[in-house]
Protein backbone atom coordinates (compact mmCIF):
# COMPACT_ATOMS: atom_id res chain seq x y z
CA UNK A 1 0.00 0.00 0.00
CA UNK A 2 1.35 3.45 -0.91
CA UNK A 3 1.96 5.87 1.92
CA UNK A 4 -0.66 8.59 2.15
CA UNK A 5 1.07 10.69 4.80
CA UNK A 6 0.77 14.41 4.15
CA UNK A 7 2.92 17.34 5.25
CA UNK A 8 1.51 18.83 8.45
CA UNK A 9 0.16 22.01 6.85
CA UNK A 10 -1.68 20.04 4.16
CA UNK A 11 -3.03 17.58 6.72
CA UNK A 12 -4.36 20.46 8.84
CA UNK A 13 -5.96 22.03 5.79
CA UNK A 14 -7.61 18.73 4.84
CA UNK A 15 -8.78 18.28 8.43
CA UNK A 16 -10.38 21.73 8.36
CA UNK A 17 -12.25 20.71 5.20
CA UNK A 18 -13.54 17.58 6.98
CA UNK A 19 -14.80 19.58 9.96
CA UNK A 20 -16.56 22.06 7.67
CA UNK A 21 -18.08 19.25 5.58
CA UNK A 22 -19.40 17.37 8.61
CA UNK A 23 -20.61 20.51 10.33
CA UNK A 24 -22.55 21.71 7.29
CA UNK A 25 -23.96 18.21 6.81
CA UNK A 26 -26.26 18.68 9.84
CA UNK A 27 -28.39 21.51 8.38
CA UNK A 28 -28.27 19.69 5.02
CA UNK A 29 -29.78 16.61 6.69
CA UNK A 30 -32.37 18.81 8.42
CA UNK A 31 -33.59 20.12 5.06
CA UNK A 32 -33.33 16.77 3.24
CA UNK A 33 -35.59 14.87 5.65
CA UNK A 34 -38.36 17.35 4.94
CA UNK A 35 -38.63 15.96 1.40
CA UNK A 36 -37.76 12.28 1.86
CA UNK A 37 -38.26 9.89 4.78
CA UNK A 38 -35.30 9.73 7.20
CA UNK A 39 -34.52 6.07 6.48
CA UNK A 40 -34.64 6.54 2.71
CA UNK A 41 -32.51 9.68 3.07
CA UNK A 42 -29.89 7.65 4.92
CA UNK A 43 -30.04 4.80 2.42
CA UNK A 44 -29.71 7.07 -0.62
CA UNK A 45 -26.91 9.09 0.96
CA UNK A 46 -25.04 5.91 1.89
CA UNK A 47 -25.49 4.52 -1.63
CA UNK A 48 -23.96 7.66 -3.15
CA UNK A 49 -21.04 7.41 -0.71
CA UNK A 50 -20.55 3.74 -1.58
CA UNK A 51 -20.25 4.47 -5.29
CA UNK A 52 -17.77 7.30 -4.73
CA UNK A 53 -15.66 5.22 -2.32
CA UNK A 54 -15.59 2.37 -4.84
CA UNK A 55 -14.05 4.74 -7.37
CA UNK A 56 -11.57 6.20 -4.87
CA UNK A 57 -10.36 2.82 -3.63
CA UNK A 58 -10.08 1.40 -7.13
CA UNK A 59 -8.10 4.44 -8.30
CA UNK A 60 -5.69 4.11 -5.34
CA UNK A 61 -5.32 0.35 -5.71
CA UNK A 62 -6.81 -0.17 -2.24
CA UNK A 63 -9.94 -2.10 -3.24
CA UNK A 64 -9.70 -5.46 -1.48
CA UNK A 65 -11.86 -8.41 -0.53
CA UNK A 66 -12.18 -8.39 3.28
CA UNK A 67 -10.58 -11.26 5.15
CA UNK A 68 -12.52 -13.23 7.74
CA UNK A 69 -10.84 -11.30 10.55
CA UNK A 70 -12.08 -8.03 9.02
CA UNK A 71 -15.75 -8.99 9.16
CA UNK A 72 -16.37 -8.19 12.87
CA UNK A 73 -15.09 -4.63 12.54
CA UNK A 74 -17.09 -4.10 9.33
CA UNK A 75 -20.20 -5.08 11.30
CA UNK A 76 -19.07 -3.09 14.34
CA UNK A 77 -18.79 0.12 12.32
CA UNK A 78 -21.59 -0.32 9.80
CA UNK A 79 -24.41 -1.34 12.17
CA UNK A 80 -24.05 0.89 15.27
CA UNK A 81 -22.49 3.89 13.51
CA UNK A 82 -23.51 4.06 9.86
CA UNK A 83 -26.97 2.52 10.31
CA UNK A 84 -28.08 3.20 13.90
CA UNK A 85 -26.38 6.58 14.38
CA UNK A 86 -27.28 8.00 10.97
CA UNK A 87 -30.82 6.61 11.08
CA UNK A 88 -31.56 7.90 14.58
CA UNK A 89 -30.07 11.30 13.74
CA UNK A 90 -32.14 11.58 10.57
CA UNK A 91 -35.32 10.77 12.51
CA UNK A 92 -34.50 12.87 15.57
CA UNK A 93 -33.45 15.97 13.66
CA UNK A 94 -36.99 16.29 12.31
CA UNK A 95 -38.11 17.40 15.78
CA UNK A 96 -35.01 19.25 17.02
CA UNK A 97 -33.20 22.31 15.62
CA UNK A 98 -30.06 21.31 13.72
CA UNK A 99 -27.80 23.37 16.00
CA UNK A 100 -29.08 21.61 19.11
CA UNK A 101 -28.99 18.24 17.32
CA UNK A 102 -25.32 18.45 16.40
CA UNK A 103 -24.36 19.29 20.00
CA UNK A 104 -26.32 16.28 21.31
CA UNK A 105 -24.93 14.04 18.58
CA UNK A 106 -21.37 14.89 19.59
CA UNK A 107 -21.84 13.90 23.24
CA UNK A 108 -20.49 10.49 22.15
CA UNK A 109 -17.22 10.74 24.17
CA UNK A 110 -19.30 10.99 27.36
CA UNK A 111 -20.61 7.49 26.71
CA UNK A 112 -17.27 6.14 25.44
CA UNK A 113 -15.45 6.77 28.73
CA UNK A 114 -17.59 4.52 31.00
CA UNK A 115 -18.02 1.91 28.25
CA UNK A 116 -14.25 1.73 27.71
CA UNK A 117 -13.79 1.24 31.45
CA UNK A 118 -16.41 -1.50 31.57
CA UNK A 119 -15.46 -3.45 28.44
CA UNK A 120 -11.80 -2.56 27.81
CA UNK A 121 -10.57 -2.01 31.34
CA UNK A 122 -9.36 1.50 30.52
CA UNK A 123 -8.91 3.62 33.67
CA UNK A 124 -11.15 6.55 34.47
CA UNK A 125 -8.91 9.38 35.63
CA UNK A 126 -9.78 12.48 37.63
CA UNK A 127 -9.60 14.41 34.37
CA UNK A 128 -12.25 12.11 32.87
CA UNK A 129 -14.44 12.73 35.91
CA UNK A 130 -13.91 16.48 35.83
CA UNK A 131 -14.51 16.66 32.10
CA UNK A 132 -17.62 14.51 32.38
CA UNK A 133 -19.00 16.70 35.18
CA UNK A 134 -18.49 19.86 33.10
CA UNK A 135 -20.08 18.29 30.02
CA UNK A 136 -23.07 16.96 31.96
CA UNK A 137 -23.55 20.46 33.36
CA UNK A 138 -23.92 21.56 29.75
CA UNK A 139 -26.55 18.86 29.18
CA UNK A 140 -28.35 20.04 32.31
CA UNK A 141 -28.59 23.53 30.78
CA UNK A 142 -30.03 22.08 27.57
CA UNK A 143 -32.66 20.15 29.53
CA UNK A 144 -33.34 22.81 32.15
CA UNK A 145 -36.86 22.11 33.50
CA UNK A 146 -37.56 25.84 33.40
CA UNK A 147 -36.70 26.37 29.73
CA UNK A 148 -37.26 22.92 28.18
CA UNK A 149 -40.83 22.09 27.16
CA UNK A 150 -41.31 18.65 28.72
CA UNK A 151 -44.89 18.49 27.46
CA UNK A 152 -43.75 18.46 23.81
CA UNK A 153 -43.68 14.75 22.99
CA UNK A 154 -42.09 15.25 19.56
CA UNK A 155 -39.26 17.31 21.06
CA UNK A 156 -38.71 14.71 23.79
CA UNK A 157 -38.58 11.96 21.17
CA UNK A 158 -36.14 13.89 19.00
CA UNK A 159 -33.78 14.73 21.85
CA UNK A 160 -33.92 11.16 23.16
CA UNK A 161 -33.15 9.68 19.73
CA UNK A 162 -30.16 11.99 19.30
CA UNK A 163 -28.70 10.96 22.66
CA UNK A 164 -29.33 7.31 21.76
CA UNK A 165 -27.55 7.91 18.45
CA UNK A 166 -24.52 9.24 20.33
CA UNK A 167 -24.54 6.11 22.51
CA UNK A 168 -24.64 3.89 19.39
CA UNK A 169 -21.63 5.68 17.95
CA UNK A 170 -19.87 5.09 21.28
CA UNK A 171 -20.51 1.34 20.93
CA UNK A 172 -18.76 1.41 17.57
CA UNK A 173 -15.81 3.40 18.91
CA UNK A 174 -15.28 1.02 21.83
CA UNK A 175 -15.35 -2.01 19.55
CA UNK A 176 -12.94 -0.39 17.08
CA UNK A 177 -10.49 0.21 19.94
CA UNK A 178 -10.57 -3.46 20.86
CA UNK A 179 -10.37 -4.84 17.32
CA UNK A 180 -7.14 -6.28 15.91
CA UNK A 181 -6.89 -4.78 12.46
CA UNK A 182 -5.84 -6.81 9.44
CA UNK A 183 -6.69 -4.40 6.63
CA UNK A 184 -6.58 -0.63 7.06
CA UNK A 185 -9.71 1.30 8.10
CA UNK A 186 -9.91 3.01 4.72
CA UNK A 187 -9.67 -0.27 2.83
CA UNK A 188 -12.76 -1.48 4.68
CA UNK A 189 -14.89 1.66 4.54
CA UNK A 190 -16.39 0.75 1.14
CA UNK A 191 -17.66 -2.55 2.54
CA UNK A 192 -19.05 -0.76 5.58
CA UNK A 193 -21.01 1.76 3.51
CA UNK A 194 -22.15 -1.03 1.15
CA UNK A 195 -23.54 -3.00 4.09
CA UNK A 196 -25.06 0.14 5.61
CA UNK A 197 -26.75 0.99 2.31
CA UNK A 198 -28.33 -2.45 2.11
CA UNK A 199 -29.50 -2.42 5.74
CA UNK A 200 -30.88 1.12 5.60
CA UNK A 201 -32.61 0.34 2.31
CA UNK A 202 -34.20 -2.79 3.78
CA UNK A 203 -35.37 -0.90 6.88
CA UNK A 204 -36.74 1.94 4.76
CA UNK A 205 -38.62 -0.51 2.53
CA UNK A 206 -40.06 -2.32 5.57
CA UNK A 207 -41.17 0.76 7.52
CA UNK A 208 -41.86 3.29 4.75
CA UNK A 209 -42.53 1.21 1.66
CA UNK A 210 -41.29 2.27 -1.74
CA UNK A 211 -39.85 5.78 -1.69
CA UNK A 212 -42.22 8.55 -2.72
CA UNK A 213 -39.83 11.31 -3.60
CA UNK A 214 -40.50 14.50 -5.49
CA UNK A 215 -37.12 15.04 -7.08
CA UNK A 216 -36.17 18.69 -7.21
CA UNK A 217 -32.83 20.30 -8.09
CA UNK A 218 -32.42 21.27 -4.43
CA UNK A 219 -32.97 17.72 -3.18
CA UNK A 220 -30.54 16.29 -5.74
CA UNK A 221 -27.86 18.79 -4.73
CA UNK A 222 -28.40 18.10 -1.03
CA UNK A 223 -28.15 14.34 -1.62
CA UNK A 224 -24.99 14.72 -3.68
CA UNK A 225 -23.40 16.96 -1.07
CA UNK A 226 -24.33 14.69 1.82
CA UNK A 227 -23.26 11.49 0.07
CA UNK A 228 -20.08 12.80 -1.56
CA UNK A 229 -18.77 15.51 0.81
CA UNK A 230 -20.41 14.57 4.10
CA UNK A 231 -19.69 10.85 3.80
CA UNK A 232 -17.40 9.47 1.09
CA UNK A 233 -14.78 12.21 0.82
CA UNK A 234 -14.89 12.86 4.55
CA UNK A 235 -14.18 9.18 5.28
CA UNK A 236 -11.27 9.22 2.83
CA UNK A 237 -9.94 12.51 4.22
CA UNK A 238 -10.16 11.37 7.85
CA UNK A 239 -8.32 8.15 7.02
CA UNK A 240 -5.53 10.28 5.54
CA UNK A 241 -5.58 12.84 8.37
CA UNK A 242 -5.43 10.14 11.04
CA UNK A 243 -2.22 8.84 9.46
CA UNK A 244 -0.68 12.32 9.28
CA UNK A 245 -1.62 14.05 12.56
CA UNK A 246 -1.42 13.03 16.25
CA UNK A 247 -4.55 11.50 17.71
CA UNK A 248 -4.85 14.29 20.28
CA UNK A 249 -5.03 16.87 17.49
CA UNK A 250 -7.78 15.05 15.64
CA UNK A 251 -9.75 14.31 18.82
CA UNK A 252 -9.79 17.96 19.80
CA UNK A 253 -10.23 19.23 16.26
CA UNK A 254 -13.41 17.24 15.75
CA UNK A 255 -14.95 19.20 18.63
CA UNK A 256 -15.17 22.13 16.21
CA UNK A 257 -17.83 20.24 14.25
CA UNK A 258 -20.73 21.13 16.61
CA UNK A 259 -19.66 24.78 16.45
CA UNK A 260 -19.68 24.71 12.65
CA UNK A 261 -23.01 22.87 12.62
CA UNK A 262 -24.64 25.35 14.99
CA UNK A 263 -23.36 28.40 13.11
CA UNK A 264 -24.27 27.07 9.66
CA UNK A 265 -27.75 26.12 10.90
CA UNK A 266 -28.18 29.68 12.16
CA UNK A 267 -26.95 31.17 8.88
CA UNK A 268 -28.74 28.86 6.44
CA UNK A 269 -31.91 27.92 8.33
CA UNK A 270 -32.35 30.99 10.47
CA UNK A 271 -32.22 28.98 13.69
CA UNK A 272 -31.68 31.13 16.79
CA UNK A 273 -28.44 30.77 18.70
CA UNK A 274 -29.52 31.41 22.28
CA UNK A 275 -27.30 32.14 25.25
CA UNK A 276 -28.44 28.85 26.80
CA UNK A 277 -27.37 26.90 23.70
CA UNK A 278 -24.03 28.70 23.54
CA UNK A 279 -23.42 28.06 27.24
CA UNK A 280 -24.38 24.40 26.97
CA UNK A 281 -22.24 23.92 23.86
CA UNK A 282 -19.25 25.56 25.55
CA UNK A 283 -19.56 23.34 28.63
CA UNK A 284 -20.09 20.11 26.66
CA UNK A 285 -17.23 20.72 24.24
CA UNK A 286 -14.97 22.04 27.00
CA UNK A 287 -15.69 19.06 29.22
CA UNK A 288 -14.96 16.59 26.44
CA UNK A 289 -11.75 18.45 25.60
CA UNK A 290 -10.68 18.36 29.25
CA UNK A 291 -11.19 14.60 29.49
CA UNK A 292 -9.63 13.88 26.11
CA UNK A 293 -6.69 16.25 25.85
CA UNK A 294 -5.35 16.10 29.39
CA UNK A 295 -5.56 12.31 29.50
CA UNK A 296 -3.66 12.01 26.24
CA UNK A 297 -1.01 14.41 27.50
CA UNK A 298 -0.48 12.26 30.57
CA UNK A 299 -0.05 9.15 28.44
CA UNK A 300 2.86 10.83 26.69
Distances (CA, A) of 216 to 32, 94, 173, 212, 264: 11, 20, 36, 13, 22
Contacts of 39 (CB under 8 A, 6+ apart): 87, 90, 91, 200, 203, 204, 207, 208
The model's confidence at residue 295, banded by pLDDT at 50, 70 and 90, is very low
Question: What is the dihedral sign for C-alpha 283, 90, 164, 176?
Answer: negative
Mean confidence (pLDDT) of the chain: 89
What is the average per-residue pLDDT within 124-133?
A: 87
Q: Give the pLDDT of residue 1.
A: 42
The model's confidence at residue 37, banded by pLDDT at 50, 70 and 90, is very high
Q: Give the pLDDT of residue 188.
A: 93
pLDDT at residue 3 above 70? no
Count CB-CB contacts under 10 A for residue 179.
15
Q: Whole-prediction pTM value?
A: 0.88
Distance (Å, rounded) from C-alpha 36 to C-alpha 282? 33
The model's confidence at residue 294, banded by pLDDT at 50, 70 and 90, is low
The model's confidence at residue 4, banded by pLDDT at 50, 70 and 90, is low
Q: Give the pLDDT of residue 180.
A: 87
Amino acid sequence: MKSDHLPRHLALLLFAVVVLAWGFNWPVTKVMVQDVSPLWAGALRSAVATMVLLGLLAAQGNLIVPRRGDLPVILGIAIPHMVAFSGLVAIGIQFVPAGRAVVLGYTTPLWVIPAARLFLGEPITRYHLAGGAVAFAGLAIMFNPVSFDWSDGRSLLGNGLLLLAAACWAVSIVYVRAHRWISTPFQLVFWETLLASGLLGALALFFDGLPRVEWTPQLVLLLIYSGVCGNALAYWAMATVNRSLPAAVTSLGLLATPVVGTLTAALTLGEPVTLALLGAMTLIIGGIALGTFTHRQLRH
